[in-house]
């Protein structure tokens, strides 16, 4: 038996039936767009960090520590188990994550580092970095994007400094023996171990801090709304949406950290909030950047627009010029082992991206068809090609399209129609 391995940053990882990272995806590791001077993501990162520093500096010491250089290679324990994500939760599926092997993956969210940092004794911190998710292909989705995650914890003395008779925990709950009380999330308002006063105060701080952040980024007049949400690691949970170009845009998820997470680490007498926000979403709205792939551009026509001394400067991205799109369809008969419903779209998208690279702007499922007589299944996708920095010729596109057809035939045993 031969073991195959993938090498990531000088370390070999043994592959198995879970492995689905591709060389293309691995090539994004280490780009660290969020740390590159003059990248819009880096400017938004700095503005967010500055907001939290300014808002929470006490006696000259910032209360938040910032981690922006943690390795994106994490264990399934960090990404899921430690965050109470159930074993059968869809976010664990191979079709949604980039696995290195069954125990190791490229983090799907920055929350993957929450427990290790809490365990190291931190109570207020920001985690910033690149995250990896398998998803559709269009102008707002890219398999790699960037998040800022945060945790803010408070003990009774801080939370209720002017009301010392109030408590964080319900009287029946014994924080020195949390297992004696089954913490429940049945009540939509709060976890059963927490008092309503503590939860409501944390909720209002959380919401105020995040609205303050949105106003600092978008100006006082930004329209927003809170939407109730569910995350396995917080309760209650919300999403914040902002109104941008006639649409509600989801920019972050947040909530009160499940007490089990804090109690699993060690004796706990605090309550914490957490949030995770997407840097691309914010940067695209703030600077009117029309396509997420531009974040990865090394073209000076793009980057020069973000070379600013003052991170708070107003910038509106001006397209260098818009090059034409070119759309080619691909349709094929599936082998008998596959149906139009079992064919995994995300596998196909990755294959298209592996062959076509960043000139793939969008892949759309156009048609599913089952032949009435032969019962053969067929799929048709439109592939939209556009280079961000020059005009593609039809011949050039046809050549890549042909390579994609060949790769699809080879990988799925399909017959091109």
Q: Which residues of the chain form contacts with ligand PHE (CB under 6 A)?
A: 109, 111, 149, 231, 234, 237, 253-255, 274-276
* Cβ at position 314, least distance to ligand PHE in Å: 29
236 preceded by cis ω (within 30°)? yes
Q: Which is nearer to ligand PHE, 100 or 251 (CB)?
A: 251
* Cβ at position 274, least distance to ligand PHE in Å: 4
> Which residues are 363's β-sheet partners?
383
Q: Which is nearer to ligand PHE, 85 or 352 (CB)?
A: 85
Q: How many degrees, rounded to 5, is the angle at CA 47 between CA 41 and CA 53?
A: 135
Q: Are 328 and 383 in contact (CB under 8 A)?
A: yes
Q: Which is nearer to ligand PHE, 117 or 274 (CB)?
A: 274
Which residues, 6+ apart, have CB-to-CB distance to 406 below 8 Å?
none
Which residues, 6+ apart, have CB-to-CB distance to 60 below 8 Å?
none
CA-to-CA distance for 52 and 49, rounded, in angstroms? 5
Q: Which is nearer to ligand PHE, 111 or 191 (CB)?
A: 111
Q: Are 360 and 405 in contact (CB under 8 A)?
A: no
Q: Which is nearer to ligand PHE, 142 or 348 (CB)?
A: 142
* Cβ at position 8, least distance to ligand PHE in Å: 22
**Residue 219 has which token pair?**
């100006």
> Which residues are 228's β-sheet partners?
238
**Residue 158 has which token pair?**
């801080």
Q: Which is nearer to ligand PHE, 281 or 353 (CB)?
A: 281
DSSP letters spanning 201-263: HHHHHHHHHHHHHHHHHH-TT--EEEEEEEETTEEEEEEEEEEETTEEEEEEEEEEEPHHHHH
Q: Which is nearer to ligand PHE, 12 or 136 (CB)?
A: 136
CA-to-CA distance for 334 and 123, rounded, in angstroms? 53
Q: Which is nearer to ligand PHE, 134 or 386 (CB)?
A: 134
Per residue, the 3-state secondary structure of 154-196, as one string, reads EEHHHHCCCCCCCCCECCCCCCCCHHHCCCCCCCCCCCCCECH
**Chain residue whose CB lies nearest ligand PHE:** 276
């Amino acid at each position: 038996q031969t073991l195959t391995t993938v090498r990531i940053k000088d370390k070999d990882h043994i592959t198995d039936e879970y492995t689905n990272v591709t060389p293309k995806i691995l090539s994004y590791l280490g780009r660290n767009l969020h740390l590159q001077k003059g990248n819009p993501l880096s400017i938004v990162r700095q503005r967010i960090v500055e907001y939290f520093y300014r808002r929470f500096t006490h006696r000259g010491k910032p209360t938040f520590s910032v981690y922006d250089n943690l390795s994106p290679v994490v264990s399934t324990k960090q990404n899921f188990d430690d965050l109470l994500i159930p074993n059968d939760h869809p976010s664990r599926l191979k079709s949604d994550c980039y696995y290195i092997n069954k125990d190791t993956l490229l983090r799907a969210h920055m929350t993957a580092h929450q427990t290790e940092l809490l365990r190291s004794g931190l109570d207020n911190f920001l985690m910033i970095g690149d995250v990896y998710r398998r998803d559709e292909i269009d102008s707002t989705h890219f398999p790699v994007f960037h998040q800022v995650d945060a945790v803010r914890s408070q003990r009774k003395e801080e939370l209720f400094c002017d009301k010392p008779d109030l408590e964080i925990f319900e009287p029946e709950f014994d924080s020195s023996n949390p297992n004696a009380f089954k913490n429940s999330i049945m009540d939509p308002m709060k976890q059963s171990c927490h008092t309503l006063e503590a939860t409501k105060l944390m909720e209002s701080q959380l919401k105020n801090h995040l609205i303050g952040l949105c106003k600092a980024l978008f100006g006082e007049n930004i329209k927003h709304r809170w939407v109730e949400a569910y995350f396995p690691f917080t309760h209650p949970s919300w999403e914040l949406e902002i109104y941008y170009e006639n649409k509600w845009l989801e920019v972050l998820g947040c909530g009160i950290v499940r007490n089990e997470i804090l109690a699993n680490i060690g004796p706990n007498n605090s309550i914490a909030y957490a949030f995770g926000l997407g840097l691309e979403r914010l940067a695209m709205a703030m600077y009117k950047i029309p396509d997420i792939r531009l974040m990865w551009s090394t073209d000076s026509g793009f980057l020069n627009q973000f070379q600013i001394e003052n991170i708070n400067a107003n910038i509106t991205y001006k397209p260098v010029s818009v090059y034409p799109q070119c759309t080619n369809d691909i349709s094929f008969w599936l082998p008998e082992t596959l149906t139009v419903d079992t064919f995994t779209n995300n596998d196909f998208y990755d294959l298209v991206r592996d062959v076509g690279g960043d000139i793939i702007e969008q892949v759309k499922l156009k048609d599913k068809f089952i032949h009435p007589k032969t019962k053969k299944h067929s799929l048709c996708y439109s592939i939209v090609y556009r280079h961000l920095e020059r005009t593609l010729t039809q011949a050039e596109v046809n050549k890549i399209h042909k390579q994609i057809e060949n790769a699809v035939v080879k990988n799925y045993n399909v017959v091109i129609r």
